[in-house]
Structure 1
Amino acid sequence: MNKVDRYLQAGTRENTRLSYRAAVEHFEVTWGGFLPATGDGIVRYLAEYADKHAINTLKQRLAALAQWHITQGFPDPTKTPTVKQMIKGIRTLHPTQEKQAAPLLLFHLEQAVSWLEREAALAAERGQFVSMIRHRRDIALVLIGFWRGFRGDELARLQVEHTQAESGIGITFYLPHTKGDRQHLGTTFHTPALKKLCPVQAYINWITVAGISRGPVFRKVDRWGNLADGGINSNSLIPLLRRIFEQAGVSADLYSSHSMRRGFATWASANGWDIKSLMSYVGWKDVKSAMRYVDASSSFGELAVQVAAPKPEVLR
């Protein structure tokens, strides 16, 4: 790969490149379409799969086809009035309710962390290093994931050399790029130390027992306690989190990696954070994105019927 191609490729996220490539292949190979395409061809393609795929899947494929045409110097056939009308018609005839991860409840987080802390302490007493180191990693993972509101891929890309933590003060993370950072300018995230469920102390405990000073913060641990050189795969977070919650006695099927992000947004909203502060803290660029993560039912406060849980004193 020459230098020009290397920089052009770096301008698009790897996951986006892979999904776009698969979408173009689906249009051309699976369906048998011709490239460059016409607006009428795009409409026929949409009609074929309108009742087979979710509207978001179809829109993602349109985005891939649009990029292919633009990069090859052809007019974009996905922007014709007929294609837009087709998308509107699909929405009308095949309405779907958007699926969202359930927000992680704070007392479920506390339940899971309490269990992990007990298991880590018992493992240390018994000299079970592998078990102890895994529990320390998992504690840091869920607490940082919740209080920082990171996406799964952001957790997987955290680097020790880009993280500064001071016990009793706070922790600062730097990510060279995030989903909301379109210009790849890099973003710094700060979280204060907390009186309980503290992500700062959890991070310090983890890297101390793991003995890592560089590279990915979160890594796989094999059966002998060896740490992988690379970071955990973001796709492995859901089974990992569900295992943690299931072992802790929490309904594991409720939650995914996005549950931590939604859980924090819901907690912050219920505790008086205005939408501007929430957007600034988490890194959302528009209100619509932020509101997708906020559970409006929390606004009913004490009038809502809910499972009783002690209100932890967490913020300094």
Structure 2
Amino acid sequence: MKPPVPHLPASPPALSDSDRDALHDLYVRGTPENTLRAYERDLVYISAWKALRSIHGRFEAALSWPEKEDVALAFVLDHSRDLRDAPAEDPARQVAEGLIGQGLRKAATCPAPSTLDRRIASWRAFHRMKNLASPFDSPMIKQARAKGRRANATKRAPKSAHPITRRVLEAMLETCFGTMRDCRDRAILVLGFASGGRRRSELTKLMRDDVDMREFESKGLVWISLVETKTTIKGETPRLVLKGRAAQTLVHWIETAEIKDGPLFRPVSKADRVLQRGLSSDAVYQIVQRRLKLAGYPDGFASPHGLRSGFLTQAALDGAPIQAAMRLSLHRSMGQAQQYYDDVDIAENPAADLLD
């Protein structure tokens, strides 16, 4: 059995040692890796914030379980305003400067509401792990958070400056010629787009066993099994389908690289030899940037997330029903997917041409 993960709060003391270890192991196995990493970062940040707040305020340095409401309220207030113009003796500003010095905070400006929401969600999750009520559920704190969210609302920055639509993707694919590196890059780009806009982590975690080619010869279909995604859990992620050119491109990579098992996408040496280990997420970023540059696009034009936003944008441009697109993109929120459709729909809305 795996030892308890150190960044998860301790279990209720009433449990035996073996039950406590089993509960921690259950949390680890039942929680996506990205969420565990977020928990770890947030717990470090929250602990550092309270330790610094204790120096400049009336709080104890260590986290309490359950946490007191005045601590939770101070956390919300400290992160709901721009502290650059606050007096030098303001405790919130002093704590912010301390966090900046520790590399835990970038600036004294007001954090994005989504960042504060995530940290609060983590803090609440820590309370649930210990079977305790969270102070963030109190009416006063919930109201303060709602007011702060409205006061600091800003337009959400896209994860990719531009979507990688079909036109952009075609230009990138034209830079892939006949080497093994070209063959791999073509397969990554096509799979990343055509399977619904896959995230970097989803692409790099794919194994050869996750690709089912039994229907390729008869129907031209390739089935992809993702173990889990950001919005789905292990065992409940639906299979995704590739067809036509996308299926052919992936099969060509698998057969040309002679991949029988192990990671689906791998590094290629300078001698154009396929290595055995899997690709890193950063490698996918470098591949996208390189192909964009070779296709003539400027630096920073798009990130790997552009494959995801590009898939939905192209689906909207082609008139595909949003429900059909979401079955491949695996978006959990209709509102998030709808944003891409709204950008396209409003440009095509006849009411926008009234003056002309």
TM-score category, normalised to shorter length: 0.7 to 0.9
Over 3 Å counting, the alpha-carbon distance change for 1:222 and 1:294 in structure 2 is: farther
AA in 2 matched with 1:178: T
Distance 2:132 2:26 in 1: 22
Matches within 5 A, 1:33-44: 34-36=63-65, 37-44=67-74
2:43 matched residue in structure 1: 24
1:112 matched residue in structure 2: 172
Alignment of 1:216 with 2:263, yes or no, is yes
Alignment of 1:174 with 2:221, yes or no, is no
TM-fit CA distance, 1:301:
4.8
Q: 2:206–2:264: 8 Å Cα contact kept in structure 1?
A: yes
Alignment of 1:97 with 2:155, yes or no, is yes
Over 3 Å counting, the alpha-carbon distance change for 1:216 and 1:293 in structure 2 is: farther
- The alignment partner of 2:297 has SS state of coil
1:162 matched residue in structure 2: 210
**What root-mean-square deviation, in Å, do the aligned CA atoms of Structure 1 and Structure 2 show?**
2.5
Over 3 Å counting, the alpha-carbon distance change for 1:285 and 1:53 in structure 2 is: closer
Over 3 Å counting, the alpha-carbon distance change for 1:89 and 1:287 in structure 2 is: same
AA in 1 matched with 2:193: F
TM-fit CA distance, 1:89:
2.3
Alignment of 1:288 with 2:307, yes or no, is no
- The alignment partner of 1:172 has SS state of strand
Distance 2:297 2:265 in 1: 23
Q: Deviations over 1:121-148 (max 9, x none)?
A: xxxxxxxxxxx11111111111111111
Distance 1:159 1:21 in 2: 27
Q: 1:112–1:250: 8 Å Cα contact kept in structure 2?
A: no
1:9 matched residue in structure 2: 28
Q: 2:34–2:230: 8 Å Cα contact kept in structure 1?
A: no
Which is higher, the Rg of structure 1 or of structure 2?
2
2:18 matched residue in structure 1: none
Matches within 5 A, 1:1-316: 1=2, 4=22, 5-32=24-51, 34-36=63-65, 37-50=67-80, 51=82, 52-100=110-158, 101=160, 102-117=162-177, 120=178, 132-148=179-195, 149-165=197-213, 166=216, 169-182=220-233, 184-193=235-244, 198-294=245-341, 296-297=343-344, 300-301=347-348
Distance 1:298 1:261 in 2: 18
AA in 2 matched with 1:70: R
TM-fit CA distance, 1:183:
6.0
TM-fit CA distance, 1:219:
1.7
AA in 2 matched with 1:270: L
TM-fit CA distance, 1:298:
5.3
TM-score, normalising length: structure 1: 0.82
Distance 2:318 2:210 in 1: 30
Q: 1:262–1:294: 8 Å Cα contact kept in structure 2?
A: no
Higher alpha-carbon deviation: 28-37 or 7-16: 28-37
- The alignment partner of 2:239 has SS state of strand
TM-fit CA distance, 1:150:
1.5
TM-fit CA distance, 1:265:
1.0
Distance 2:43 2:248 in 1: 47
- The alignment partner of 1:98 has SS state of coil
TM-fit CA distance, 1:252:
4.2
Distance 2:346 2:138 in 1: 42
| Aligned-pair identity (%) | 23
Distance 2:258 2:345 in 1: 41
Q: 1:177–1:187: 8 Å Cα contact kept in structure 2?
A: no
TM-score, normalising length: structure 2: 0.74
Distance 1:247 1:138 in 2: 13
- The alignment partner of 1:47 has SS state of helix
- The alignment partner of 2:133 has SS state of coil
AA in 1 matched with 2:239: T
Q: 1:266–1:293: 8 Å Cα contact kept in structure 2?
A: yes
- The alignment partner of 1:104 has SS state of coil
Q: Deviations over 1:218-250 (max 9, x none)?
A: 122233445444432224432321121112212
AA in 2 matched with 1:208: E
Distance 1:295 1:105 in 2: 16
Distance 1:187 1:252 in 2: 35
Over 3 Å counting, the alpha-carbon distance change for 1:286 and 1:95 in structure 2 is: closer
Distance 1:136 1:301 in 2: 37
AA in 1 matched with 2:315: A
Alignment length, in residue pairs?
A: 288
- The alignment partner of 1:22 has SS state of helix
